[in-house]
Amino acid sequence: MSTSKIVAAALLVAALTAGRAEAFCLFSCEPTADNARSVFENRLKKKFDPDAKVVKFDVSRFWRLDVEGAGHHAVEFYFTGSAEFPKGANLDCKPDEAGAVKAGCSASKYYSTTVSNQEIKDRQYIEPGAKIDFNDETRFDESPKGWKGQDGNVY
């Protein structure tokens, strides 16, 4: 039997015995737009409200990175997304009549799920029933177990 037939047979056996599609990866195993949406949704629910619903998610750019000095690769997804907040978020951070907020809360109307210097670190009030648009990004870092998203999960 030729080497190419042996390799093809081994690939077929591996494909048939793989439990999940993600478990079988030989080529182009980078994170997908669906993975980026999952990270966005997870960060949204953790940062703002567990009942938040993503109603729109579109990737505008995919960018491969060589993280110099760190010895690994990374990828970034730039996206626009919209989320609905049926119950609102961080209701205790609602500004008073003068627009002042209490300590630990932010009055900023810039909403982001990005883990970077641009992220608003303090909690932000979102009115119940509001729909918020995001122009954001998310990054995945290559690790021995797969691609680690900014939500802490490996994809």
Order of strands across the sheet with 146-149? 53-67, 72-85, 130-143, 146-149
Q: Tens of pLDDT along 63-75?
A: 998 776 667 889 9
Percentage with pLDDT > 90 across the chain? 68
Instruction: Give the start-to-end residue ranges of the domains of the chain.
Output: 1-28, 31-149
Encode pLDDT of 4-34 as tens digits: 545 455 544 444 444 344 445 555 589 999 9
Q: Tens digits of per-residue pLDDT, 136-155?
A: 999 999 988 999 999 999 99
In the prediction, which pLDDT does 2 show? 65
Q: Is the pTM of this model over 0.85?
A: no
